[in-house]
Amino acid sequence: MSNIKDESKSDNTASEDDLEEEEVRSFKLPEYFPITRKTKSKLRSLTAWKTGNRREKMRHKCMDCVKKATEGYISIVLEKNAERLANKDMTKSEFDEARRKLYKQDLEINRLRTIMKNIKDTDVKDVNFIYAFGSMKADIMERDEPALTISNMPLYQRVSSGAQDQVYDHLKSKLRSGMVSENADTQAVKDYRDFEHQLFVTINPTEPVPFLHDVSEGDNDIEVEGGKVSLLCPISHDLIEDPVINPKCGHTYDKTSVANYLRNSNQCPVCPTELRRQDLIEDKLMKQRLVCYARDVKIFKERNIKMDEAEDKL
């Protein structure tokens, strides 16, 4: 009888051991874990770009190289055409037409423009990533999940096996949504717009830019409506040397002339707008016009070509 009891007890012990063994074998850690305070602390200090300033410097360096290449190429083309004009291989109207076509129809200019567009588009994508990363980070930081313990482990074991991919899916979703559009006024978009303005006046120093705000307006063949941009200071009536602009009205003056003028007046000499020294900023576009106008004068003078419209252009 005693042997039977011992065998029964032994069988029960074996069954319990088997159950424990089965539980150990079937035990599985959850695939999803809550974010700990320590992880949140690290995430809080994490930024999308650790080298933002370096990236910005690299972008400006690339843009400056393209600008210099563009200006150099335009000068070479104009000199070549001026030579043909001087040798009577080209008429003045053909020279002007060739200049007009430079902006949109020249293959080399369009290649350089494509590089600038790629720089702009890459920056827009970078900005989109930064916004998406920030949004994703904020969502994660707002999670309120209990710390993982033995007692609540089943709660996390029931979480879908694909939960760990949700963070990346969330990021990709935000990137696809395009939080920053290609036409948003990011710094790169503004720089590209400035490039198009500078490109236009480099080719046409005295022509008004026909697409001041929307660069896409220049996608078709440029049709200048007429009129010339004066390169003379409205105060001294001499050629501007150091251009400054009043942002309130858009009028440009020579820096020295306007400084003297402000001693006796605080009103724009062209319109009734208030004029204050602290509001004046460098007019980079006018500066480019003056440089390129001087280039044209030099090109024509070296080849003994009369600039019949020189006075009109001023």
Q: How does DSSP classify residue 209?
A: P
| Domain identity same for 233 and 192 | no
Q: What is the pLDDT at residue 314? A: 43
| Domain identity same for 307 and 239 | yes
Q: How many domains does the chain have?
A: 2
| Domain identity same for 251 and 125 | no
SS3 221: coil
Residue 1 is assigned to a structural domain of this protein: no
In angstroms, the Cα distances linking 301 to 16, 83, 91, 298, 310 are 107, 11, 17, 5, 12
Residue 278 is assigned to a structural domain of this protein: yes
- 295: how many CB neighbours lie within 10 A of its CB? 17
Residue 106: CA count within 13 A, CB half-sphere: 19
Of the chain, the percentage scoring pLDDT greater than 70 comes to 75
| Domain identity same for 208 and 265 | no
Instruction: Tell the residue number behind the tokens 């029964």, with chain if given.
Output: 8
Residue 204 is assigned to a structural domain of this protein: yes
pLDDT digits (tens, 9 = 90+) for 129-157: 887 888 878 877 887 788 878 788 887 77
| Domain identity same for 36 and 87 | yes
Nearest CA-CA partner of 84 in 68, 73, 96, 72: 96
pLDDT digits (tens, 9 = 90+) for 45-101: 877 765 567 778 888 899 999 999 999 999 999 999 999 999 999 999 999 999 999
Residue 26 is assigned to a structural domain of this protein: no
Residue 13 is assigned to a structural domain of this protein: no
Q: End of a domain among 212, 227, 242? A: 227
| Domain identity same for 115 and 209 | yes
| Domain identity same for 222 and 86 | yes
Q: What is the pLDDT at residue 312? A: 43
Residue 22 is assigned to a structural domain of this protein: no
Q: Is the pLDDT of residue 296 over 80?
A: yes
Q: What is the pLDDT at residue 6? A: 52
| Domain identity same for 63 and 197 | yes
Nearest CA-CA partner of 32 in 160, 151, 172: 160
Q: What is the pLDDT at residue 280? A: 97
Residue 249 is assigned to a structural domain of this protein: yes
Q: What is the pLDDT at residue 150? A: 79
Edge-to-edge strands of the sheet including 281-282? 252-254, 243-245, 281-282
| Domain identity same for 125 and 270 | no
Domain that holds residue 57: 32-227
Domain with residue 251: its CATH number is 3.30.40.10
Q: What is the pLDDT at residue 313? A: 41
Residue 68 is assigned to a structural domain of this protein: yes
pLDDT digits (tens, 9 = 90+) for 187-216: 888 899 999 999 999 999 999 998 866 665
| Domain identity same for 166 and 255 | no
Q: What is the pLDDT at residue 165? A: 63
| Domain identity same for 198 and 240 | no
Kindly report whether the global pTM for this prediction surpasses the value 0.75: no
Instruction: Give me 177's structure tokens.
Output: 């949504």
* Residue 27 identity: F
Q: What is the pLDDT at residue 131? A: 79
| Domain identity same for 161 and 262 | no
Q: End of a domain among 192, 227, 262? A: 227
Q: End of a domain among 203, 227, 251? A: 227
**Confidence tier at 161 by pLDDT (50, 70, 90):** low
